[in-house]
Amino acid sequence: MKKIVAILLVTVLVLALAACGTQPSGGGAPAPDKGASDTIKIGYVGDLTGPTALWGTAGKYGAEMAVKEINAAGGVLDGKMLELVPMDGKGEAADSVSAFKKLVEEHKIVAEIGTNFSSCNIPMASVADQVKVPIIGTAASNELVTIDESGKLHPYSFRMCFIDSYLGTVIGNYAYDNLKLEKAALFTIAGQTNSESVGKFIKDAFEGKGGKIVADEQGQEGDVDFRAQLTNIKKAEPDVIFIVMNDYAKTATFAKQARELGIKALMMGHDGWDSAQLAGEANGALEDCLYVSRIGFNSPEAKAFGEKIAKEYNIGMEAECLFGYDGVMWIVDAIKRAGSADPTAVRDALEGTDVFKGLIGTLVMDPKTHNPSMACAVYKCTGDAFNYVETIEAQK
Amino acid sequence: MLLQQLITGISVGGIFALLATGYSLIYSLLDFSNWSHGEFAMVGAYVAIVFSNLLGLPFLVAAAAGVAGGAAISFLCERTTYRRIRSNGAPNMFLMIAAMGLSNVLQQAANLIFSGQYRSYAFRLPVTTIQIGNSYIGVLDIISLCITAVVLVLLIYIINKTKFGLNVRAIASNSYAARVLGVRVDRTIAMVFLLAGSLAGVAGVLYGMKYNVFPTMGNVGLKAFIASVIGGLGSVPGAIVGAVLLGIIETLVSAYISSSLRDFFSFALLIVLLLVKPSGLFGVDVQDKA
């Protein structure tokens, strides 16, 4: 009897796990190569199951929506249908690289969208050059995503965001020039490429203007208690704390712990704060605090699209869905201009993009670096939400 | 500022203590380190999430369910896995390996069911703080420390003053003799798993309130394990002292040296202690376990 119960339990568990494992993927991931000639396949790699799945799935939904729109309007290149093939990169470099390889080898994609992490797109860029299939990073803002360490361009790697140095510089300048702040503390995550790199450029810009970094503290990936470092920051009495973390839940925890320690300084952040949940999660600890990021949902088209996605997929409005959508649209634009769905021709057309107007705003491509220049926006926390305050025009 | 760092250290150590005592209790009875103990806390935290966020029940009910959840999963692991391995007469190493497996299974299951997202309870305490001289302590921390203290005092009382505690100590001392003298060994062990699991449940809910709930949150169990070794594996008071000590050391290293060296110090301390005083600070020998 016991054995039967045990066998039943195991069966139920296995079935339950199997059920959890098979996620519906709107674009579908059919058997490799089937009907490759009738459809043009676009790959998507994002974190679909890990701690940042909120962004990865939002990006996927955005891309799905774009594919649906293009197909409903008759497809591209004389009626060829588009097909999105999403793969889980888990937000990890190794998983993202193998997901991309699988998309190229098994699904013969024309181009790939994602991820939103520099740490994943840097290794993916070298692979893209080898297999000669273009990739488009979304929020992957480290310089090494498109240019290797020796300063050579990755010809097949593109991005749809401004680079770390650009945003870091904008934040540092804005804090000093517009907010008239002079003493700042900096908090970054050791070993996290984006965090360290944005932090460095904030510091350079702020100090370059004449400001002083009075505390420069670091945490570790996976840390949840920041009070040891915060106590040091408190002692340095900064006017502003730059929190450069890419996880909204931890940024909220950081802010709450800061207020619990009696720190009253303004807190500022970068695009890692871009989450609808941050303000509520911080539960008042980030009141009046600011971050600088993309213009996001502050154009009427983007807002309408975000609301549509949120309603259709029952999720919050995450800016990543705009990238997913624009990524597909940009590739389609390139395919049309190239008159071909050959990956190399698409790459040439992407590089030759003069101006691409998408939901994320106007993107002006620099063919030498593949780094677009874009305007950005300042957001302020009021109650349970961050609200758009003003636009900072594109800076050199 | 040192006082502030000490307060932080004690608050960090409080969570370690709740888990460390669980390690110690199980170790004292079965002579193995229950590596899935941190995951019991994680399960408890998620049970509370389900009750509070999905079912919309009052937070106290959800918290109680979380504690019960920790106890239930601990009890279930004992009944379905550990007891079978013991009754097969397998060496203790097998228990440890099974525990590692369970730890992985539970973590992955949480990942599949709830995704890797950080979650917080629908119930939120306002961010309030109390000033003591130049230092501050969060109200949530005070509540959490008080609960920890009450729970641990209760635990020590149970172990030292009740008949059940006497049985536990008897088994810890010599399970064969205890059985001969009429102690129901398996039953007592199952009860200890319930007890240790509910402590883990308390830790999980408190940890979730302070730092959010996520599938890998049980990794804090590793620190609790170090704490229980520092205190002397098998000694409940030792585990508490070890936990607070470790919390303070980690905070001071993060603050005055570097957060990147924090784990280095914790593990180095573990190695040095195992070399110099393997029985831990409270030097428990076989007779005095639990």
- A34-161+299-365 against A164-293+377-392: fold identical: yes
Can you point out the beta strands (E) in A118-247? Answer: 135-137, 157-159, 183-189, 212-219, 240-244
Per the CB < 8 Å rule, is B211 touching A253? yes
- With an 8 Å Cβ cutoff, is B281 touching chain A? no
The CATH number corresponding to A34-161+299-365 among 3.10.20.440, 3.40.710.10, 3.40.50.2300, 3.40.50.720 equals: 3.40.50.2300
Mutate to test the interface with A, among B2, B3, B5, B8 (most CBs of A within 10 A): B8
Number of domains in chain B: 1
Of A190, A224, A284, the CB nearest to B126: A284
- With an 8 Å Cβ cutoff, is B136 touching chain A? yes
pLDDT in tens, chain A (396 residues): 555 555 555 555 554 544 444 444 444 444 444 444 679 999 999 999 888 888 999 999 999 999 999 999 999 998 999 999 999 999 899 999 999 999 999 999 999 998 999 999 999 999 999 999 999 999 898 889 999 999 999 999 999 988 877 889 999 999 999 999 999 999 999 988 889 999 999 999 999 999 999 999 999 988 899 999 999 999 999 999 999 998 888 999 999 999 999 999 999 999 889 888 899 889 899 999 999 988 888 888 899 999 999 999 888 888 899 999 999 999 999 999 999 999 999 999 999 998 888 888 778 888 999 988 787 899 999 999 999 998 887 654
- With an 8 Å Cβ cutoff, is B211 touching chain A? yes
A281 contacts in chain B (CB < 8 Å)? 120
Q: Chain B residue with minimal CA distance to A3?
A: B80
B4 contacts in chain A (CB < 8 Å)? 227, 231, 234, 261
- With an 8 Å Cβ cutoff, is A50 touching chain B? yes
State which residues form the domain around B23: 2-122+133-288
Domain locations in chain A as residue ranges: 34-161+299-365, 164-293+377-392
Per the CB < 8 Å rule, is A225 touching B214? no
- With an 8 Å Cβ cutoff, is B254 touching chain A? yes
- Yes or no: domain A164-293+377-392 corresponds to CATH 2.40.110.10: no
Per the CB < 8 Å rule, is B116 touching A20? no
Classify residue B82 by its DSSP letter. Answer: I
pLDDT at A21: 42
Q: Is B128 part of any domain?
A: no
- Report the CATH number that the domain containing residue B159 is assigned in CATH: 1.10.3470
Per the CB < 8 Å rule, is A260 touching B118? no
pLDDT at A45: 96
Q: Is B187 part of any domain?
A: yes
Q: Is the dihedral of CA B233, B234, B235, B236 positive or negative?
A: positive
Q: Is B127 part of any domain?
A: no
Q: Is the peptide bond before A115 cis (omega within 30 degrees of 0)?
A: yes
Counting other chains too, the contacts that A118-121 makes at CB distance below 8 Å and 24 or more residues apart are A118/A142, A118/A144, A118/A145, A118/A164, A118/A193, A118/A194, A118/A197, A119/A93, A119/A192, A119/A193, A119/A194, A120/A45, A120/A89, A120/A91, A120/A92, A120/A93, A120/A96, A121/A96, A121/A145, A121/A157, A121/A159
